Amino acid sequence: MSLPRFPERQVRVLDLERLNRMAAGTVPALLFGLRLWASVCLALYIAFWLELDSPFWAGTSAAIVCQPQLGAALRKGWFRMIGTLVGAIAIVVLTACFPQDRASFLLGLALWGAACAFVATLVRNFAGYGAALAGYTAAIIASDQLGAIGGVHGDVFMLAVTRASETSIGIVCAGVVLAGTDLGSARRRLATLFADLEARIAAGLTGTFAPTGPEPSTTRSMRRALVQRAIALDPMIDETLGESAQIRYHSSVLERAVEGLFAALAGWRTAANHLVELPSAESRQDAAIILQILPLELRSTNAEPSRWIADPTGLGRLCETTARRLIELPSRTPSLRLLADQTAEALVGMSLAAKGLALLVAAPRSTCPAPPQCHPPARRGLAASSGQCSARIRYGLLRRVVLDRHRLAGRR
């Protein structure tokens, strides 16, 4: 019985595909290993050339700071340097305060470590790492100072300067090697995540009001998954801040963008839960009214992140215009008013997130049709004028409430 023979061309194609899959996983790891090796070697060479007391600290710092992503490495190195300097200064001050009192010195060192650990639990990401580093840097220098007999001596200043110098050399060497061999991709990856979240929220929100929309149980699981993904944006934003000075200068825009995503999810949740509790006839009627106001650009049931990446500014303005129309909507029932306000809150949050996405993709221009400008006639009634003024005030208040609510929730 003869075995089946595959054509030689097909075998070659299979081998090439296997090699491509292997290369896609091994090449980034090999490049990171080469960068790590170069960083450690450069740090050790400079430390030995300067004849420092403990050059291995420079190599260790370079190895610790190195990360597969450029932004994470630069951000970690920055906070490691700050934590080292703060810890070195703290141990010098403690030694000066208790030069001949060993018990008070150890008590002060313990309190300093506890304070650093407490601050590390309050701040996030690499800022917490820097706070913790300030605590055990002081402890490491104190162990060198106490020595074998456990007495405080006067060499603490030189010990602190040496330790800070060794650590700083390793951080700078790692930063130079990584910045010189990697361009960074955190900004592009964060923009892709933002666009995907906005597209899915827009599709889910419009699908809630559609007659053939998904089941409420399905939308609940979708919102939970989107909330988890929105929470996971925080370390990615921190990494992007490490790569780009422009993004770091406008970091408040990204903070408001994340708050906008949570506001959009909250408004979507309230509207969906309210529709479930209404009678079927009233629910369909109110949903049809809201859906009629939503523009066609936001009604797509398929999440298309490419549209948000291509024109975040235009879609953000479209969300703001639609939110104003929902606020101006005359409500015949409290139920319709609630749906309109919650949908407007979700759209206001999406407009804030679109501004953050526009910052990431650097897209100041808009290709979406401009919102229709309202040119009131010369003779209009006092009621119409006061109604539009009231709607503008309500929109401004709603936007401020959205920001304040989620900023307070983030602090808690």
**pLDDT in single tens digits along all 412 residues of the chain:** 454 554 555 545 546 666 666 666 677 788 888 889 999 999 999 999 988 888 888 988 899 888 888 888 888 888 999 999 999 999 888 888 887 777 888 898 899 999 999 999 998 888 899 999 999 888 888 887 775 555 555 677 888 888 889 889 999 999 889 888 877 788 888 888 988 998 889 888 888 888 776 777 778 888 899 999 999 888 888 888 888 888 888 888 888 999 999 999 999 898 888 888 878 777 788 888 888 888 887 776 566 788 888 888 888 898 898 889 888 888 778 888 888 889 899 999 999 998 988 888 875 444 444 444 433 333 334 333 344 444 444 545 555 555 555 554 454 4
d(CA 191, CA 356): 9
Supply the pLDDT for residue 374. Answer: 38
- Asked which of 181, 206, 233 is the last residue of a domain, the reply is 181
How many angstroms separate the most distant Cα atoms in the chain? 96
Q: Are 323 and 347 in contact (CB under 8 A)?
A: yes
Both 125 and 201 in one domain: the answer is no
Both 221 and 78 in one domain: the answer is no
Q: Are 205 and 326 in contact (CB under 8 A)?
A: no
Both 107 and 205 in one domain: the answer is no
Both 112 and 214 in one domain: the answer is no
DSSP element (H, E) containing 240: helix 233-243
| Token pair recorded at residue 295 | 């523009």
| Token pair recorded at residue 275 | 């529709």
Report yes or no on 71 lying in a domain. yes
Both 165 and 266 in one domain: the answer is no
- The CATH number that applies at residue 235 is 1.20.58
Supply the pLDDT for residue 370. Answer: 45
d(CA 102, CA 95): 10
Rg (CA), the chain: 29
Both 118 and 224 in one domain: the answer is no
Report yes or no on 11 lying in a domain. no
For tokens 């892709």, the residue is 192
Both 170 and 219 in one domain: the answer is no
Domain region containing 156:
26-181
Q: What's the helix, strand, coil split of the chain in %, to 5?
A: 80, 0, 20
Both 166 and 192 in one domain: the answer is no
Report yes or no on 192 lying in a domain. yes
DSSP-derived secondary structure for 258-298: HHHHHHHHHHHHHHHHHHHHS-HHHHHHHHHHHHHHS-GGG
d(CA 167, CA 85): 9
Q: What are phi and psi of 2, to 5 degrees?
A: -90, 140
Report yes or no on 123 lying in a domain. yes
Both 259 and 291 in one domain: the answer is yes
Report yes or no on 34 lying in a domain. yes
Both 272 and 393 in one domain: the answer is yes
Provide the residue type at 294 as one letter: L
Both 173 and 216 in one domain: the answer is no
Report yes or no on 3 lying in a domain. no
- Asked which of 181, 204, 231 is the last residue of a domain, the reply is 181
The model scores a pTM over 0.85:
no
- Asked which of 181, 202, 233 is the last residue of a domain, the reply is 181
Report yes or no on 352 lying in a domain. yes
Q: Are 88 and 112 in contact (CB under 8 A)?
A: no
Both 340 and 225 in one domain: the answer is yes
Supply the pLDDT for residue 147. Answer: 59
Q: How many Cβ atoms are within 10 Å of 154's Cβ, its own excluded?
A: 9
Supply the pLDDT for residue 32. Answer: 84
User: What's the number of domains the chain is made of?
Assistant: 2
d(CA 325, CA 306): 26
d(CA 265, CA 205): 9
Report yes or no on 55 lying in a domain. yes
